[in-house]
Amino acid sequence: MVRSMKPSKPHWSQTSSRLMNACPRAWAITYGTTTGHFRSAKRPLPNPPRTFDDLLTRSMRTTWLRRLSDQYQRKVWSTPYAKRTFDNTVDDAIDHLNMTVPPLHLEMGKYRSIKQLRLLEQSQTLRPLFTGEPRRWAYFDRRKSAEVRGIEVYAAPDVAVFHQHRWTLVRLQFRSSRRPLLGQQLEHLLMIHWARSQPGFPEDLAAYRVKVVRWQAHRWKEHTVEVSQELLDQSMALMAHDAQEMKWLQRWACADPSFASLPLASHHEECHTCPHRPNCPAKNGLASAKRAQEKMLVSRDQSEATKSANTA
């Protein structure tokens, strides 16, 4: 039976882009299937958290979204309620994943995360939402996509605040990123492309500010990202380039459903917490797996060259 291969619509999300750059093989396994049908790009896949830290970060995000949703409806959270909500979110996730976490480690992790969430409400950018200062604002789930020039883009701001005739699009980073600064700045600017494609947001570039609130060295640091047409164009080019690479990788994986010829991780650190490691040639070391792959590709090329010479 010949399977039809429907190419999925190009998509871009920070998670997908980072995974592709970190390990093309892991990207292909996560976003593709060996049957040749790539999973719908409609929604980024809910990969289970790999570590307890991952689980805490996701629980903070989930709790934060609930907190904002209630705050939007003017429902105030007491401190015990905030703690209970977060604790329940973490406990449910641990149960769901059957994860074992030593009790002291668990309590310390919850304590640190609740403190992190409380400090977030006190950040300069977000404080006005909690102190009743007059602002128009909206919050979004990052999994809400928008179509930008034919690409399904997952770049919704976490919060958008209207003040002094401008929208401030806010990106929250619950933990610091290893991505180079310029790449990150360009990614943050994708929020403007996303907003412009939404009803209710202006087209005029001058009507936007972009702010990043990120957790680093035990505190929230806030900075403003420069906005210009030139940088906006660069961010669009970055996204288009990523989408093109994904398309190419998707084709490659369809042509080689064993994934044996797909590039492996750029750095061995990527393999440490990779869920695909048990079935990966790199399970006993990335460097040796790369050497073996190179040999396999060379010998395959040679046998194909011999075949075509014989048929010529």
**Contact between 18 and ligand SF4 per CB under 6 A:** no
What is the layout of strands, in order, in the sheet containing 136-139?
A: 136-139, 159-163, 166-173, 208-216, 219-225
Pairing of strands 219-225, 208-216: antiparallel
For the segment 90-119, give every residue that binds ligand SF4 (CB under 6 A): none
DSSP-derived secondary structure for 180-214: -HHHHHHHHHHHHHHHHTSTTS-S-GGGEEEEEEE
Nearest alpha-carbon partner for 144 in 13, 9, 8, 10? 13
For the segment 26-55, give every residue that binds ligand SF4 (CB under 6 A): 26
Query: Which two tokens mark 230?
Result: 């030139």
d(CA 90, CA 24) in angstroms, rounded, equals 31
Q: How many CB atoms lie within 10 A of CB 188?
A: 24
Taking the complex as a whole, the smallest distance from the CB of residue 50 to ligand SF4 amounts, in Å, to: 11
- Interacting residue with ligand SF4 among 14, 145, 274, 293 (CB under 6 A): 274
**Contact between 282 and ligand SF4 per CB under 6 A:** yes
Nearer to ligand SF4, 73 or 284 (CB): 284
**Contact between 264 and ligand SF4 per CB under 6 A:** yes
**Contact between 169 and ligand SF4 per CB under 6 A:** no
Residue span binding ligand SF4 (CB under 6 A) among the ranges 154-162, 174-182, 215-223, 274-282: 274-282
Number of residues that bind ligand SF4 (CB under 6 A): 13
Taking the complex as a whole, the smallest distance from the CB of residue 267 to ligand SF4 amounts, in Å, to: 9
Give the contact letters, 205-244, x = binds to ligand SF4 (CB under 6 A), - = no. Answer: ----------------------------------------
Nearest alpha-carbon partner for 210 in 194, 227, 195? 227
Taking the complex as a whole, the smallest distance from the CB of residue 33 to ligand SF4 amounts, in Å, to: 15
**Contact between 249 and ligand SF4 per CB under 6 A:** no
Pairing of strands 208-216, 166-173: parallel
Nearer to ligand SF4, 58 or 276 (CB): 276
Site of interaction with ligand SF4 (CB under 6 A): 23, 25-26, 264-265, 270-271, 274, 276-277, 280, 282, 286
